[in-house]
Structures are given as structure tokens and as C-alpha cells.
Structure 1
Amino acid sequence: MEDTSLVDIENNLKFFSDNNNNNNAKIVDEIKNSINFRIQKHREFIKKSKAVIIDNIDYLSIVESETNKIIARKNKIIELRELAEYSFGIKLI
């Protein structure tokens, strides 16, 4: 009579080994999917951040342009006040 206990042990080990490999493959796939999902979310966040930065730069350039116009108008008003004061003797407040 042949001792089958060793054969059974080997079969059980092979079964558990195969199942562990399947589980490990599933775990690796889940980790890979999780990492890819996080990378995708970070890319979306970066795109949104870039868009916000570009919008802010555009806004600041508009503000700078309008500020320069205001300064030019203010200088023109100062010049006209001086001209009115010296030419016509009118003191403007």
C-alpha cells in the first residue's frame, strides 16, 4: 500500500500556491488600478490648476493695463490743473 499523505500534501501546497498567485495577481491589479486612478486625478487637478493660473495671469495683465490707464489719466489731470493754474490763474482743487 502506497503512502498517499505526501502526495496529498504536495497537491495541497500546489493548490494553495496557485491560489496565492491568483490572489497576489488580483492584489497587484488592484494596486495598479488604484495608482492609475490617483495619477489620473492628479493630472486632472494639475490641468485645473494650470487653467486657474492662466486665468489669474490674464486677470492680472488686465488689471495692470487698466491701472496704467488710470495713472495716465491721473497724470493728465495733474498736467491740466497746472496748465489751468498758470495760464488762467484758476486754482482747481
Structure 2
Amino acid sequence: MDYSFLISRLGVQMREKRLNRGLTQAQLAELAGLTRYKVIAVEKGILSVGMIAYARVLAALDCELSVVPARMPTLEEVGDLLE
């Protein structure tokens, strides 16, 4: 499986958590000690973003990572990556 799909999924999940908590990107950035632009990059799954940024956003959302078996991407996920 292509690692870009995994990063993309992580970004989508983090965005969903932020929205479920009623936070704006700016509010999450402040909680995480990052810029709003870095939060945007995390949510978009930009490959050049360092793991520390993901960790800071996860911590600000009171979340942690779990390792689970990978699954094949859906057609919608593939389409989103091609946009």
C-alpha cells in the first residue's frame, strides 16, 4: 500500500476529530502550538510535514495513534488524492 494513502487517511481523521470537537483550524493550531498553515498541511496529509506536527495535533485533540491492519483505499479516497 502506498504510504501517501495512509497519511491522507490520518489527515482526514484528524480533521473529522477537530470538527467533531467544534474547533477551527486556528483554535487547534493554538492548542497544538503550531501555525494554522501547519494544521492545514496535517489535515491535507502533506508528505513533507514532520511527525512531531502530527503528534502535537493528536495531543491537542486528546487522541493517540493505533496500529491496525491496512485496508485498500476506497474509490472516493483515491479520487480525493487526485484532486
Q: Same fold (TM over 0.5)?
A: no
Which one scores higher on RCO, CA 8 angstroms, separation ≥ 6? 2
Larger Rg: 1
The TM-score normalised by the length of structure 2 is 0.25
- Identify, as 1 or 2, the structure richer in helix: 1
The TM-score normalised by the length of structure 1 is 0.23
